[in-house]
Structure 1
Amino acid sequence: MYKLIEPEVAGGLGENTELDNSVFPPLVKKLNYEFEGWLGGDILESFPCYIMTERLKKTIESENLSGITFDDVLISKSETFLDLYPDKELPAFFWAKINGKDYKDDFFITEQNGLAISEKAYSLLQKFNVDQADIEAL
């Protein structure tokens, strides 16, 4: 049983993101996630990328879930974010690179460019803040 998850969108690709727009989805070489707001989600999205908090990353790694690797992400805050949340501290985030192959892995990207997760991954994510994510059966 797999599920489709659409995480909270708390911002977008920042000006320091390096990507190749000649392909679809765009190929991101360096990710800068710029926060506009944040409702506390442990997994966030800005097409075509996902980021996760360090605590979620460590749990995924300790459970040996497949179809995902992690890389550094440059985090920035927009002027809007700074105006709305001048004292808000953000936790450490990591770029979640989804490289799973269909239903063999715990994480993979569907043909419609959605994020699919296995039952094992879903059970794990339920222990974290995914309240703002839309999750439905695949």
Structure 2
Amino acid sequence: MDYPDDPIAKIYPVYLATADVIGELRAMGASGWEVSDDIRLDPSIDYTTFHPDRPLPNFLWLKVVDHAHADDLGLDEIRKLWVSQRVLDTLLRLGMKHAELDGERITPPPHRRQRAPAPSPQ
């Protein structure tokens, strides 16, 4: 993970959300999603380089189970995340900064795969 401050992230083909987001979605009765804690995340090399003393947030697997415009969360025809205005307002209030917004479509910041270190010159 490279974006420690955003409450939502995408690691294709899944979306991750912080426990705060999950709690807010539950509290508002948002529809179109399920949650799982059956994930394992490791910080990327970039993350550990730039944030050596900062653990990853407690992300959970946000399973989007509906289609865009049918519920509060859904996937459109190209599998982009769509959210209702009230969910968008909640994500912004919780600190979403790096996601791309296109109307009600959100593209959370991607997780970058770790790169193998370059071989050292001999």
Fold-level similarity (TM above 0.5)? yes
Q: Does 1:97 align with 2:97?
A: no
The one-letter amino acid of 1:104's match is: A
* In 2: Cα distance, 1:125 partner to 1:41 partner: 9
Q: Residues 63 and 81 from structure 1, CA distance in 2 versus in 1: closer, same or farther, beyond 3 angstroms?
A: same
Q: How far apart in 2 are the matches of 1:132 and 1:66?
A: 24
CA distance 1:83–1:57, shift in 2 (3 Å): same
Q: Does 1:49 align with 2:22?
A: no
* 1:106 and 2:72 aligned: yes
Counterparts of 1:80 and 1:53, CA distance in 2: 20
Helix, strand or coil at the partner of 1:108: strand
* Counterpart residue number, 2:100: 134
Structure 2's unaligned 5+ residue stretches are 105-122
Deviation at 1:39?
4.4
- How far apart are the structure 1 equivalents of 2:54 and 2:99? 21
C-alpha separation between the residues in 1 aligned to 2:67 and 2:103?
A: 18
The alpha-carbon deviation at position 134 of structure 1 amounts to 1.0
Matched residue type, 1:111? E
Q: Deviation per CA, 1:76-98: give whole Å up to 9, x if none.
A: 12333323321112221100000
What amino acid is aligned across from residue 88 of structure 1 in structure 2?
R
**Identity over aligned pairs, percent:** 21
Greater share of strand residues, 1 or 2?
A: 1
Does residue 72 of structure 2 align to residue 88 of structure 1?
no
Q: Determine helix, strand or coil for the equivalent of 2:93.
A: coil
CA contact (8 A) 1:70 1:95 kept: yes
Conserved 8 A contact 2:67-2:76: no
Q: Give per-residue Cα distances to partners, 1:12-71, cap 9 Å, x unaligned.
A: xxxxxxxxxxxxxxxxxxxxxxx2x22410001122111001111111111110001110
Aligned-pair distance for 1:110?
Answer: 0.5
CA, structure 1 residues 76+129, in 2 after alignment: closer, same or farther (shift >3 Å)?
same
**1:128 alignment partner AA:** L
Cα pair 1:39 1:132 within 8 Å, conserved: no
Distance in 2 (CA, whole Å) between partners of 1:96 and 1:111 is 18
Q: How many residues align?
A: 103
Superposition RMSD in Å: 1.5
